[in-house]
Amino acid sequence: MPDETTEVPTPPRPDGGEAPKSPVENPTEPTEDWATRYKYLMADFDNFRRRVERDREAISRQARAALVRELLPIIEAFRVAREAFAHLPASDPTRKGLDLLDHEWTKFLKHEGVEPVATPGGPFRAEEAEAVGEVAATEEHPDGSVAEVVQQGYRFYGGLLRPAKVLVARSRSPVPTPSSAAEAKE
């Protein structure tokens, strides 16, 4: 009887090829749990599919953001033209057309997820707006609020598309005179 630890040579096949080894013949090879491997493989594939979908959505959002960023100067120029025609009566066809176009631009921006950042009277947020100047604070515009929007900024799906340029309301602090500075030291 042969020893269990020694290999038994397989007899040659009549056609000259070597006989295939079965897992039962070689007990030293680990048996694999194919069901577990299948579950891991399916989980990896699901993760891959989700990652590809997220990447595709991010690329789509970036392309749309680039398009909207290019359209913003056109929209703003249109709004300046609309303000120039604001003196016309409401029944004038030119004013009606401009109002209709403004409505469509606003609807387009809202549909794309674009939101304005700064509003006059609202708080100044340094992460969304750039202060290009200061004005005196009033009751309508308290200290630290946006007094005037010079150029509107926009948010796009939570990210900043373009920062706003604003004038910030600041209360005037008294300028220290040399005599008051000396008194403060004492």
- Please give the Cα distance from 98 to 82 (Å, whole number): 6
41: amino acid identity, one letter: L
Look-up of token digits 């249109």:
78
Task: Give residue 54's pLDDT.
Answer: 96
Residue 109: per-residue pLDDT: 92
Q: Which segments in the chain show pLDDT lower than 70?
A: 1-32, 173-186
Look at residue 177 in the predicted model and tell me its pLDDT.
55
pLDDT of residue 50: 96
Residue 39: both structure tokens together: 């579950």
Task: Print burial letters for 43-68: b (CB count within 10 Å at least 16), e (below 16).
Answer: eeeeeeeeeeeeeeeeeeeeeebeeb
Predicted local confidence at residue 121, as pLDDT:
86
Position 27 scores a pLDDT of 53
CA pair distance 100, 62, nearest whole angstrom: 29
161-177 confidence digits (pLDDT tens)? 999 999 998 887 655 55
What's residue 165's pLDDT?
93
